Amino acid sequence: MTNSLRFAPIAADLPPTVPFTGPETLARRSGQPILARLGANENGFGPSPRAIEALAAAASEIWQYGDPDAHDLRSALAARHGVPTDNIMLGEGIDALLGLTVRLFMAPGEAVVTSEGAYPTFNYHVAGFGGALHKVPYRDDAEDPEALLARAGEIGARLIYLANPDNPMGSWLPREQIEAMLDRLPSGALLLLDEAYADFLPPEALPRIDAEDPRVLRFRTFSKAYGMAGARIGYVIGAAAAVAGYERIRNHFGLNRIAQAGALAALGDQAWLAEILARVAASRARIAAIGHASGLQALPSAANFVALDCGGDGARARRVLEGLAQRGVFVRMPGVAPLDRCIRISTGPEAAMDLLADALPGAVASA
């Protein structure tokens, strides 16, 4: 007698879905090549030339496992942020770190609060580890700390997720609002502050939080401003006791040698980072102008993308998105109303912006 396939109880109750469908999959399904890749919030300007050199130089050493402690990179990040190395934990991008965080701090059945329409990978991990997910609506196209805190207090939430700047809208909160939020956290709640796009914020907007504050974990990445999304390097800034907890469950050989070397070189090239920030700002302005020429309104953004209001509902925005896809331009859109009246377009080089400018008028007209 053969054994039948049996999933574990939590997994068995989950739908067979993933948070995102990749552009490669979309291209295979449609048979339409992607000419402008503007939907995944990657940094199309690329990493620092010094990072590229370091990646190439480390390639011959790929037969070796990466340093499980990522000592050199961790030390450099600690120096960059002015904190002890004990306050830094590296992982395979923020996505993986969110999964570890949910596993480490949330018991099955415990309540978690996020925003309806916010970054879905966090929800994916909460469901995967058996949490009870609760959502509050956005307010004025931004995440609403008051609503998050109120809901968390009502249900005794263990975790509260907030991204600043926010994905998918690009909105951001002043640092005073984030700092005040910590003093109002319900007893036993932990704030997960996703700062994937924090490099694009003006410095005065970054919250001033002691790395040893046990009420919050901050998540950063090399995927956005540093242009290394494919390397999968993210990190947590948090209290030493919390950071040490990750050692119990993390994949100790998850960061390969090449990625570590590239990220270390990228971190050391702050002049390139400054240039990228300027290019992203210029590209945001170009996207806004392209949208305006087709009658679409750009929302303010402090990220490496712009949300364009298509002036209708989600059905109209989806038609615009599909029209762009038919013309080889890959973008995405928020998944819930009223955010889904927008399409979200990543910044990128001028050649990609030119393709967008050529494709958008026809896509809007066909919508």
Task: Sort 351 into a burial class: Cβ within 10 Å, 0-12 / 13-18 / 19+.
Answer: exposed
The mean pLDDT value for 23-38 works out to 90
Q: Assess contact for 42 and 233: CB atoms under 8 A.
A: no
pLDDT digits (tens, 9 = 90+) for 179-231: 999 999 999 999 999 999 999 998 888 999 999 999 999 999 999 999 999 99
Phi and psi at residue 220, in whole multiples of 5°?
-125, 170
pLDDT of residue 2: 63
Distance CA 141, CA 165 (A): 12
- Report the pLDDT averaged over residues 329-339: 96
CATH topology classification for 18-46+271-366: Aspartate Aminotransferase, domain 1 (3.90.1150)
Assign 3-class secondary structure to 272-302: HHHHHHHHHHHHHHHHHHHHHHCCCEECCCC
Percent of the chain with pLDDT over 70: 99
Q: What is the domain partition of the chain in residue ranges?
A: 18-46+271-366, 49-268
Q: Cα(76)–Cα(266) distance, rounded to whole angstroms?
A: 11
Check whether 18 has a pLDDT greater than 80: no
pLDDT in tens, 72-107: 999 999 999 999 999 999 999 999 999 999 999 999
Query: For 263-291, how does the pLDDT look when each residue is reduced to its tens digit (9 = 90+)?
Result: 999 999 999 999 999 999 999 999 999 99
Task: Assess contact for 318 and 333: CB atoms under 8 A.
Answer: yes
Secondary structure letter of residue 117 according to DSSP: T
Class of domain 49-268: alpha beta
Contact 92, 232 (CB under 8 A): yes
CB neighbour burial string for 50-65, b if at least 16 within 10 angstroms, e if fewer: bbbebbeebeeeeeee
Has residue 1 got a pLDDT over 60?
A: no
Encode pLDDT of 129-163 as tens digits.
999 999 999 999 999 999 999 999 999 999 999 99
Pick 70 or 29 by higher pLDDT. 70
Least confident of 18-27, 124-133, 143-152: 18-27
User: Residue 27 pLDDT > 90, yes or no?
Assistant: no
Within its chain, how far is the Cα of 253 from the centroid? Answer: 23
Question: 227-251 pLDDT, tens per residue?
Answer: 999 999 999 999 999 999 999 999 9
Q: Provide the token pair at 250.
A: 């993390």
As a whole number, the mean pLDDT across the chain is 96
Q: What is the pLDDT of residues 160-190, one digit of tens each?
A: 999 999 999 999 999 999 999 999 999 999 9
How much is the average pLDDT of 50-57? 98
Which pTM does this prediction carry?
0.96
